[in-house]
Amino acid sequence: MAIKANLIIDQGATYATKLNITDANGTAVDLTGYSAAAQIRKHYTSSNSTPFTVSLTAATGAVVLSLSSNSTANLVAGRYVYDVELIDGAGRVSRIIEGTVTISPNVTR
């Protein structure tokens, strides 16, 4: 079951957040052989999406989600949904985190 976490992203700004994946004992999960994917969509059923750039640090269990300033500038201010999926070497997919994204409007353009 995915952890719920809501994000606030400033429109037009570079964004990055780090997730530390741990087991029930708080030990970092070794992500060797894993890949990951994450997207923002206006609604769960939307056909349009904005993908996060996802990078993994296998030994520390770190997953970094990022968006360029151009990507966040192209998102209309408002509420969206997102999730992050890990894919193991056998192709099994696990949703590790999900929630809402609030795009906070910018003034400076």
CA angle 103/95/105 to nearest 5° reads 0
Taking only the tens place, the pLDDT of each residue in 73-104 is 999 999 999 999 999 999 999 999 999 999 99
In whole angstroms, what is the distance from residue 88 CA to residue 24 CA? 19
* pLDDT, tens digit, 9 for 90 and up, residues 1-50: 789 999 999 999 999 999 999 988 999 999 999 999 999 999 999 999 99
Q: What are phi and psi of 60, to 5 degrees?
A: -100, -5
Contact 99, 72 (CB under 8 A): no
Q: What is the pTM of this model?
A: 0.91
Phi first, then psi, for residue 73 (nearest 5°) are -65, -30
Task: Note the pLDDT of residue 109.
Answer: 75
Which pLDDT score is estimated for 73? 96
SS3 percent helix, strand, coil of the chain, rounded to 5, is: 5, 50, 40
CB 51 within 8 A of CB 39: yes
What are the structural domains, with CATH classification, of the chain?
Answer: 3-104 (2.60.40.10)
